[in-house]
Amino acid sequence: MKCGYVALVGRPNVGKSTLMNHILGQKISITSRKPQTTRHRILGINTTEQGQVIYMDTPGMHQNEKKALNRYLNRTADTTLLGVDVVVWLIDSLSFQNHDETIIRKLKHAGLPVILAVNKVDRIKEKQDILAFFAEAQKLFPFVDLMPISALKKTNLQNLEQTILNLLPEGGLVYPEDQITNRPERFLAAEIVREKLTRRLGDELPYAITVEIERYQELERITKIYAIVWVERSTQKNIVIGKQGEMLKKIGIDARQDIEKLIDQKVFLQIWVKVKKGWSDNERSLRSLGFNETE
């Protein structure tokens, strides 16, 4: 049996959460087209007859550290490299960006086996371009493997999984074989609400929003969830609620349907929107809202 930890790293919005969800065959990490959707380190546990692979989905490594939230995201991504066995570095084009130099430096310092996975390969017409890029990439870093994939279309994912397994150490299971994540349903419910907010709202507003579950009540035939959406200004609160509450109603319906699929039970979901000024640039506020680097 093989067993070990795999860090999924890369710039924001390259498809790390989508990759983990498709490998697991179940949605654990929320996704959207907006960068920095992932804010917490989330484990996805895939147990097969060959062993157990524990994937760690992380916030995207980025250069902007203007706010406490941005610094938290970078620290969370960096600390994920401590204690893992393999790194999958995900990129989504046949070129390295300026910030990728920072990632290369961090990977060299970590001294771990790294697989370079080029995501969204279905968009690349000339396959020779992939081979040429891989030849150049190998000059920058001693990758143990370089692999074209499409997380969304599941292209080459079996090969990626087998390569990862081959690199993991032998060992017994860390988690029960039927466990798929380390996060409780309460946490996943908050993330689903935030995903719907991110997808429904404009480009800037999602970064000023976080979600807290005030109460999670499991009854025999229904689960009652009471959530608070925290924003930084009253004008943002008005946008989230929408005209005559229409926006919040749509977000609530979207979230409730996904939570019901997740827990396989009827859900009552109540959402309030409240203002906590400057929460994203206040370390104490971040901790009170569940941003904990040790998790």
End-to-end CA, the chain: 26
Superfamily of domain 2-167: P-loop containing nucleotide triphosphate hydrolases (3.40.50.300)
Residues 6+ positions from 108 with CB-CB distance below 8 Å: 141
Tens digits of residue pLDDT in 152-165: 899 999 999 999 99
CATH of domain 185-288: 3.30.300.20
Judged by average pLDDT, the poorest of 30-34, 172-176, 210-214, 222-226 is: 30-34
Indicate the domain borders of the chain.
Answer: 2-167, 185-288
SS (H, E, C) 136-151: HHHHHCCCCEEEECEC
Confidence (pLDDT) at 62:
58
Residue pair 56/29 in contact (Cβ under 8 Å)? The answer is no
CA distance 290 to 295: 10
Structure token pair of residue 209: 């929003």
Provide the whole-model pTM.
0.87
Residue 52 is classified by DSSP as: E
